[in-house]
Amino acid sequence: MCGVEDYDLPDPYHLDAASLPTQVDIFRLADWTTIILATQRFVDAVQHLELDGVTFRPVQVR
């Protein structure tokens, strides 16, 4: 192991609204860098431009 703790992402998971960045529309989680999160504004832009190859799933924010 490389010093990283092995633990699973809760299913379903939620995000703490106070911890989310406000200056960007797309970002990664520090503990799960393979998960890319986007704001609704980013999702709307991708859908408006009819871009493909990306799948979006909603995440609960509390």
Instruction: Give the total number of structural domains in the chain.
Output: 1
Summarised one tens digit per residue, pLDDT across range 26-41 is 999 888 888 899 999 9
Q: How would DSSP label each residue in the chain?
A: --S----PPPSS-EE-GGGS-SS-SEEE-SS-TT-EEE-HHHHHHHHHTT--S------EE-
Domain that holds residue 24: 14-61
Residue 4 lies in a domain: no
Q: Note the pTM of the prediction, 2 decimals.
A: 0.75
Average pLDDT over residues 42-53: 96
Q: Give the pair of three-digit tokens for residue 43.
A: 């999702």
